[in-house]
Amino acid sequence: MSQTLPLFHDEPYLKQLDCRVDLLERDEAGLPFALLGETVFYPQGGGQLGDRGVLNIALAGEGEALRTLEIVATKKRDDQIRHYLGIDDEAFTQLQARVIGQQATATLDWSLRYHQMRVHSAMHLIHCMLERTLGRAIAHPVRSPLSDEGGENQYEFVGEFDEDSLRRATDALNEFCSASHEIRTEADTSQGQGFRWWQCEDWSIPCGGVHVRNTQEIGVVTSSMKIKKNTTRVVVTLSAEAEELG
């Protein structure tokens, strides 16, 4: 079986895609998922949530009849981009033999995806602005989990910066974002298969996620700092969505 062709890096603003259903199967825990010929759904990774949405399938033997299935998560396992479906055992049994090879339309939950794109870029930029504010490099976060609400940069240190430094970095970031700077992502096969860079101005950070193309899309950033044991967490939330420029 051929691998799913991922389109989310080259076409991050593509919200809907006509595709083919290559497989309907269960994973190791018994959860149902579909493999598609190509996809705009980003699989969970690098802290970014896997995409959600819907899959409309033309069922074999029912003419033009369509079945709408909820895609509740997208994950990558063994080079498979798995679109997990919100269906019960009965529906899985009914559908499994009837959807293989059928045409479908996959539609993103764009509110979720676009928020993730905006937050992900903001998490890189708040780190960059902290370094600029401090006038020196700091260790990159060991984790940067994103959620439906915002994101965190989790650093394995304390004392490298204080709340005043974070406030000044956040103010500088908001000014920078409003000035409209291009954001780019690109593959770098010299670093290995699947390796990608996030780039803005002179900053480059290894990242395989999906991002906005302009800082204006991020909107207004609000930040706070939490310290626990040997960990410093920078928590970021965004204002209501800015204008989409992609």
pLDDT at 42: 98
Domain ranges of the chain: 5-108, 112-238
- For residue 187, what are its two tokens? 């593959």
**Cα–Cα dist 164/161, whole Å:** 8
CATH 2.40.30.130 fits 5-108, yes or no: yes
Position with higher pLDDT, 195 vs 65 = 195
Cα-Cα-Cα-Cα torsion 109, 114, 115, 120, nearest 10 degrees, comes to 130
Distance CA 171, CA 104 (A): 45
Note the pTM of the prediction, 2 decimals: 0.94
- Listed in sequence order, the residues at least 6 apart from 28 whose beta carbon sits closer than 8 Å to its beta carbon are none
Predicted confidence (pLDDT) at residue 1 exceeds the cutoff of 90: no
The backbone torsions φ and ψ at residue 159, rounded to the nearest 5 degrees and listed phi first, read 90, 0
Cβ–Cβ under 8 Å, residues 123 and 151: yes
Least confident of 52-56, 180-184, 236-240: 236-240
Instruction: Report residue 42: phi and psi, to 5°.
Output: -80, 130
112-238: CATH topology is Threonyl-tRNA Synthetase; Chain A, domain 2 (3.30.980)
Q: Is the pLDDT of residue 192 over 90?
A: no
What band does 243 get if pLDDT is binned at 50, 70 and 90?
low
**Tens of pLDDT along 94-153?**
899 889 999 999 999 999 999 999 999 999 999 999 999 999 999 999 999 999 999 999
End-to-end CA distance of the chain: 33
